[in-house]
Amino acid sequence: MKAYKLFEIPVYNYSKEKHLEMWSKAKKKFFDKLTNKNATQSEKNDSFLKCYKYQSLWDYNKLVGIIQIKYKNGDLIFELYKHVGKVFYNKINKMRFEKNGGTNLRITIKNKSKDEIIKLIQDKFKYIQDNFFKKYNYLDLEAFNNIVANLNFEAFLYKISKK
């Protein structure tokens, strides 16, 4: 049986709150260094955005990895892809990811309840966060959690295995 890709979880450099906090500090520092101290707040903001066009926006936060969750023969397989090299905000399409494997990235979900499966998945995400990414990296699990909360695993995986 081939492996079926179920989810892709993006891993960002920072959480949204940390990212915005960091750029708020950078903006204050930038304003303090402006040579024209008589500039209005609007002029200061315009200058900041001209210098840091995309970096300060959450939408352009660095993507540092991807976690793919696949299903094969009653197991969920977690495949990690980590970014290689530096990220340049204006060259997002040139990002390269390398597979970062591990032998402990598989969980068996046959004959387990939905709550047990969700707990195993959450434990695996914690393990991945602690062992494969930096502590400040952010696994964006919002969409995954929204889907899983309303998903009937047994029926879903049964249909996949019958393909």
Average pLDDT over residues 113-135: 89
Q: Rounded to an integer, what is the distance from CA 73 to the centroid of its chain?
A: 26
Pair 68, 97 in one domain: yes
Indicate the number of domains in the chain. 2
Query: Is-contact 107 121, C-beta < 8 A?
Result: yes
pTM (two decimals): 0.72
pLDDT confidence of 102, banded at 50, 70, 90? low
Asked which of 50-54, 64-68, 131-135 is least confident by mean pLDDT, the reply is 50-54
pLDDT at residue 87 is higher than 70: no
| 129 plus 147 within the same structural domain | yes
Same domain, yes or no, for 26 and 68?
no
Looking at the fold, whether 34 and 104 belong to one and the same domain comes out as: no
Same domain for 82 and 116? Answer: yes
Query: Quick one: 47 and 72 in the same domain?
Result: no
Q: Which of 49-58, 61-70, 132-141 has the lowest mean pLDDT?
A: 49-58
Q: Do 70 and 50 share a domain, yes or no?
A: no
Residues 115 and 40 in one domain: no
92 and 34 share one domain: no
Whether the predicted pLDDT of 163 surpasses 70: no
Residues 51 and 78 reside in one and the same domain = no
Residues 119 and 42 in one domain: no
Q: What is the pLDDT of residue 124?
A: 92
The pLDDT tens digits for 140-151 are: 898 899 988 888
Q: What is the mean pLDDT of the chain?
A: 78
Domain that holds residue 27: 17-58
Please write down the HEC assignment for all residues of 72-91. Answer: ECCEEEEEEEEEECCCCHHH
pLDDT of residue 20: 75
110 and 142 together in one domain: yes
Predicted confidence band of residue 78 (pLDDT cuts 50, 70, 90): very high
